Amino acid sequence: MHVDVSTHVQKVMDLCAVAGFPGLAERFIAEGYSIHDVRAELQRLRAGSASSETLITAHGTGARPDNNHGWDRIFRAAAPERYTAARIAV
């Protein structure tokens, strides 16, 4: 089956980006990985990178330990006049 090179490259880049490993696309393309092989490798890598901090379990939500979720930066950027350094540390 013939696959257009640009289509193959775009699919590999998309798969890597969605899986959270955008930096691997170049290697997969250079080494001639098939789409099937890319998916299999990304699944293997995702399974190996899972940790107790990122998994949702019956005992917790996987939230950051400080339960902040980065909202302080978002609120400070949206309304800096309402959030002084004394109230929210950087």
What's at 29, amino acid-wise? I
Distance CA 12, CA 8 (A): 6
Let me know whether 37 and 1 are in one domain.
yes
Give the C-alpha separation, 90 to 84, whole Å: 10
Answer for the pair 24, 30: CB distance below 8 angstroms, yes or no: no
Residue with tokens 């909202």: 71
Whether residues 40 and 70 share a domain: the answer is no
30: containing domain: 1-50
Say if CB 62 and CB 35 are below 8 A apart: no
Digit-coded pLDDT (tens) for 34-69: 999 999 999 998 887 765 445 555 444 555 555 555
pTM above 0.75, yes or no: no
Domain tally, the chain: 2
Q: By mean pLDDT, which of 14-18, 41-45, 72-76, 82-86 is the weakest?
A: 82-86
**Structure tokens, 77:** 């950027």
